[in-house]
Structure 1
Amino acid sequence: MTDPSPSPLEKHTGYWLRCLSNMISGSFEARVEKHAITVPQWVALRTLYDVEKITPLEAAERIGVDKSTFSRMLDRLEAKSLVTRLTHNADGRSFFVALTDSARALVVAIAKEADTNDALFFGHITPKEQETLRNLILQLLKATGGHSKIALKALTTRKEKMMNIQEIKDAIALSLSKEISFPELIERLTKAGAERYTVDFVAKLIHYYGKENEYFSYCIESENFGLPASTFCEESIRNAIEAAQALLIDYETFAQRVIDGGAAQYQIFFKERKQLYLGREGSVYAYPFPQF
């Protein structure tokens, strides 16, 4: 008896939503980081923009985080001169939080960045279609017990990013254009805060992981890759690795060769200096990390 054929990845709506979400959030993160703040900090500033002053507890509730999380965020924003603490005359144990003038100007500037980012990704559909899309997302959140505030809380309670996403993207671009070697790529990724990455040829996704359970993902755009070969050939994979590291072939050629060699995905571990190539049925090939 043969196993039932699983539904194709491309038939899953969640797969496409994740691909789109990764691209949108990655683009916006890069825009926000140019202003020396993080996306969670931007969410907090934009929320506080609508009030003249507010207590920390009220602010945390509006943003959708617990009080201790907001307290840490407040310290960082205050260190950047973006918020100030005001005396609470009715309660000597408490205080109000207010945006500084520079923070209010920053909110306006980043809001324009958000508008530009939205236009980049959603400008291909009409305003009416955009409204329909938003309503459908809210409908799904409500139907599954979710709410927009939950999504907001998930965003703002995530730890402050230690990985520099833009530096990772720059390193990837240089590597793909063969302007830097594999050792130089690893060095740049390490400096950007990454400690490992995984390339999944089946899902067509690349994941970069940091030390604080952070991750950054994006889709592999090439449509040329087929299914990994059922036969796992270590020699083919090794030859592809060595040709790529010698800058004799580009990344797309390398990827196709390891796929033809039976690799469904591979993982690179910086600290332990390991490269693992995994086949569809559990075969594993460990390639020696180059000395550098």
Structure 2
Amino acid sequence: MSTRVPELTDHLGYWLRQVSNHVSHGFARKLADKDVTVAEWGLLRMLYERKPCAPSQLAQEMSLTRGAVTKLADRLIAKGLIIREASAEDGRAQTLRLTAKGARFAPALAALADKNEIECFAHLSAADRRALKRILSETVARLGLTKMPLD
């Protein structure tokens, strides 16, 4: 007697991965047209409407290493979107903040995130979108997931 092996499609994880890949790749393509990666967008968004912030604090909030934040920051500095400067409180420490260009650019990128979400989930009612968000956020909390999904 053979044991039944479930189909891939019998698992919620299969469906979550299908949707996640589609949403993520669609957003990554939209950002690529603007010469920004998803990870760079994450850091830009963290800095938007915020006082200058220590890279170590950003690393903690984003659940990234300090080295990863430094690499992201270096790329965004090269693009003129953020600046690294001495801390106002401690001149030995450094902070990151958006440049004027970065502050103008962030809302346009946020609009791309909104457009991507609409394209992917417009078929759901507002109540279904709220329910899906609630279910997923409860699952994230139950699993203790803290790392910002940037890849």
Deviations 1:178-237 (A, max 9, x none): xxxxxxxxxxxxxxxxxxxxxxxxxxxxxxxxxxxxxxxxxxxxxxxxxxxxxxxxxxxx
What RMSD, in angstroms, separates the aligned Cα atoms of the two structures?
A: 1.5
Counterpart for residue 79 of structure 2: 80
Aligned positions of 1:26-175 closer than 5 A: 26-144=25-143, 146-147=144-145, 149-150=146-147, 152=148, 154-155=149-150
Deviations 1:70-111 (A, max 9, x none): 111111111111111233243232122110111112110011
SS of aligned partner of 1:65: coil
SS at match of 1:93: coil
Classify the secondary structure of the residue corresponding to 2:53.
Answer: coil
The AA in structure 1 aligned to 2:12 is T
CA positional deviation for 1:125: 0.7
Give distance in 2, aligned partners of 1:126 and 1:76. 39
Query: Take 1:13 and 1:90, find their aligned partners in 2: how far apart are those partners?
Result: 49
**1:271-282 paired onto structure 2 within 5 Å:** none
1:178-193 counterparts in 2 under 5 A? none
1:51 counterpart SS class = coil
Q: Specify the code of the residue in structure 1 equivalent to 2:92.
A: R
Structure 1's unaligned 5+ residue stretches are 159-292
**2:4 and 2:126 mapped to 1: Cα distance?**
39
- Aligned residue type for 1:135: R
CA drift at 1:128: 1.6
Separation in 1 of the partners of 2:88 and 2:18?
Answer: 50
What TM-score does the superposition give when structure 2 sets the normalisation length?
0.92
Bigger proportion of residues as strand:
1
Tell me the matched-pair count.
151
1:24 corresponding residue in structure 2: 23
Matched, 1:4 2:32: no
- Kept after mapping to 1: 8 A contact 2:27/2:116: yes
Show structure 2 runs of 5+ residues with no match.
Answer: none
Q: CA deviation at 1:130?
A: 0.7
**Secondary structure of 2:3's aligned partner:** coil
Assess, with a 3 A threshold, how the Cα gap between structure 1 residues 118 and 3 changes in structure 2: closer, same or farther: same
Larger relative contact order (CA 8 Å, sep ≥ 6): 2
Task: State the TM-score, normalizing by the size of structure 1.
Answer: 0.49
CA–CA separation in structure 2 for the residues paired with 1:14 and 1:88: 44
